[in-house]
Chains A and B, each alone.
Chain A
Amino acid sequence: MRRSAVGVLLAAALCAPTPSYAHLVNSGLGPFYDGALHLMLTPMDLVGLAALSLFVGSQGAGAGRLLVIIAPLAWLLAGAVALYSRVDASFAVVNAGSLVLLGGCIALGLKTSPAVAAVAAAVFGGLLGFQSGLELRAAGADWVALIGTVAVVLAVTLLISALVVSYTAFAFRVVLRVLGSWAAATGLLSFGWIMASGAS
């Protein structure tokens, strides 16, 4: 009888929902983690960052080390400018174009010097960071969220470039170039899509 009573009580308890905020949709995770998650949930920014990391990482360990320092810094600076600016435009087309360029370079197996790779890290990291800053501002986020985003940028660039630098087997290089072609193709289609839908 006691078991049955427990079962009924349990069912009754389950039948009485109260606001749980279980998934933090309402409360959020706090500005830092909101910023970190923002990047993970924004495919264009994430794919662009992954493409940048793949390209610079494929240029060798020296370029990879520069990437880990320069890309997050560029992202932080450009993101801060966007966060506190009054720019009211989307740079999604520019980011799609960046994806085409970076993916194309990876697909072609392009080799550059660490200096050129560092410039690429600064330029593309800055472009992606600027767009990310605009998105954060639109979401009402502040500089703490930007720091959260930059922390994920650091983690992603570190993990991907380390992976690319450490695997030198021919088969892995082929996979890398295939991934580059996929990134470029994704950028091309996105570019057409954004242009067709009238966004700028």
Chain B
Amino acid sequence: MTKLHIHRLLLAAGICAAIVQFPETAFAHVEGEAISGFFSGLSHPVSGWDHILAMIAVGLWGALLGPPALWILPIAFPIAMAAGGMLGLLGIPLPWVEIGIAASSIVLGLFIVTNMRLSLAVAIPLVMIFALFHGHAHGTELSPGADAVLYSMGFVIATGLLHAFGIGIGAVDGLPMGRTVLRALGGGVLLGGTYFLIGAFA
């Protein structure tokens, strides 16, 4: 072994020794409970396709309806959903929750397929009723122990982002074949809702 090899070996040993000092799991500046609260909340609305489909469908339908429904529906939905979540947390029962969730996908999917243009006075209460079912289902499933505010923030932000995703997809409406694409997507939501409805009765 030459002198150069010894130098390199020692240098490598020194670097390795330095590397092993780096801790793997630091979470140095955050409270574990708080961070789990936010990310748990963020991941909850995307934990089931029945919820994902309906929330994206709200954005899609809003995009088809255009302003002001485009932004009023995503304002109304989180508030009603949180109200449903509150009822679920407080243990106040709501009948036919699973059926209501499945029905939301079926109805919204149908509206997208048929380009149904309801007035705001009908569309807002309808979407809020659907949101109430989704929120109640989430509320009864919420895991105790996490930070309430951070969890709620994550939960609401994820819901809003799903609506925004739906609105973003709805932007293809102006493109050639865009309406056909949207109808196909609406058909997918409708089929998904039907599947969940069958599951609710099974």
**Contact status of A192 and B86, CB under 8 A, knowing A44-B149, A185-B79:** yes
Which residues in A have their C-beta under 8 angstroms from that of B181?
A: none
Given known contacts A1-B3, A190-B152, is B82 in contact with A185 (CB within 8 Å)? Answer: yes
Decide yes or no whether A193 CB sits under 8 A from chain B.
yes
- Say whether chain B's binding surface is mostly helix, strand, loop, or mixed: helix
The range of chain A's interface size is: 35 or more
Assembly CA distance A4 to B12 (angstroms): 9
> CA separation between A191 and B155, bound complex, in Å?
14
List the count of A-B residue pairs having beta carbons below 8 Å apart: 120
Chain B interface residue count, Cβ-Cβ cutoff 8 angstroms = 46
A156-200 interface (Cβ within 8 A of B): 174, 177-178, 180-182, 184-197
- A1–B91 Cα distance when bound, in Å, is 72
Residues of B within 8 A of A193 (CB): 89, 142, 148, 151-152
A-B contact pairs, 24 of them (CB 8 A): A1-B7, A3-B11, A7-B10, A8-B14, A10-B18, A11-B13, A11-B17, A11-B18, A12-B17, A14-B18, A15-B21, A178-B74, A178-B75, A180-B75, A185-B79, A187-B152, A189-B139, A189-B156, A192-B87, A192-B90, A193-B89, A193-B142, A194-B148, A197-B148
- Once bound together, how far apart are the Cα atoms of A196 and B83, in whole Å? 14
Q: CA of A177 to CA of B149 in the docked complex: distance in angstroms? A: 20
Q: Which of A1, A11, A184, A191 contacts B14 (CB 8 A)?
A: A11
A10 touches B14 (CB 8 A): yes
User: B-contacting residues of A (Cβ < 8 Å)?
Assistant: 1, 3-5, 7-8, 10-12, 14-15, 23, 43-44, 47, 104, 107, 174, 177-178, 180-182, 184-197
A44 and B151 alpha carbons, distance in the complex (Å)? 11
Determine if B85 is an interface residue (Cβ-Cβ < 8 Å). Answer: yes
With A7-B11, A193-B142 known as contacts, the answer to whether A43 contacts B79 (CB < 8 A) is no
Q: Which residues of B contact A15 (CB under 8 A)?
A: 17, 21
Which residues of B sit under 8 angstroms from A195, Cβ to Cβ?
89-90
How far, in Å, is B9 (CB) from chain A's closest CB? 8
Q: Which chain B residues border A47 with CB–CB below 8 Å? A: 149, 153
Instruction: Kindly state whether residue B6 has any CB partner on chain A within 8 Å.
Output: yes
B residues in contact (CB < 8 Å) with A: 3, 6-8, 10-11, 13-15, 17-18, 21, 28-29, 34, 71, 74-76, 78-79, 81-83, 85-91, 139, 142, 144, 147-153, 155-157, 159-160
Whether B160 contacts A178 by the Cβ 8 Å rule is yes
Q: A185-B81, A188-B83, A188-B86 are in contact. Are A43 and B6 (CB under 8 A)?
A: no
Pick the most buried of B6, B11, B15: most chain A CB atoms within 10 A of its CB: B11
Which 3 residue pairs across A and B have the least CB separation, nearest first?
A: A7-B14, A192-B86, A185-B82
Report which of B10, B79, B86, B151 forms a contact with A191, defined as CB distance below 8 A: B86
| A181: nearest chain-B partner, CB-CB | B75
Q: Among A15, A177, A192, A195, which residue has the most Cβ atoms of chain B within 10 A? A: A192
Task: Find out whether the CB atom of B15 lies under 8 angstroms from the CB atom of A7.
Answer: yes
Inter-chain CA distance A185–B155, complex, in Å, is 9
Q: Is the CB of B156 within 8 A of A185?
A: yes
CB distance from A174 to the nearest CB of B (A): 5
